[in-house]
Amino acid sequence: MSTLANTLTGLLGRPVVDQTGLAGRYDFTLDFSRTETAGSNATGGFNEPPALPPPPPGAEPGVSIYNSIRELGLRLVPQKRPMPVLVIDRANKEPTAN
């Protein structure tokens, strides 16, 4: 589930946190429309959006990624959560001795 959360983070361009408590590996297919993905505009994620193959010629627009997640018995719930942040106060061009 953590891999799915990281993949969704890259696809949606928003942090997705795994709160399922499920461990182990699962085999499933997730079909969804690319119109809801962040694509090259993804920001704030932990990884780059995965490369998606081009759609077949004449393909239907597809189902919502949120509906596809719901069909798996999961749901995406927007929440405000504390996230770790790295703050750099200053950067020196030359290293200083300790």
pLDDT tens for residues 48-84? 555 666 666 665 566 788 888 998 899 988 888 887 8
CB-based contact 44:15 (threshold 8 Å) = yes
Q: Alpha-carbon distance 40 to 61, whole Å?
A: 19
Considering only 2-16, 31-45, 72-86, which range has the smallest mean pLDDT? 31-45
Considering only 7-11, 45-49, 93-97, which range has the smallest mean pLDDT? 45-49
Q: Which of 65, 82, 87 is nearest to 74 (CA)?
A: 65
The answer to whether residue 45 scores a pLDDT higher than 90 is no
pTM (2 decimals)?
A: 0.61
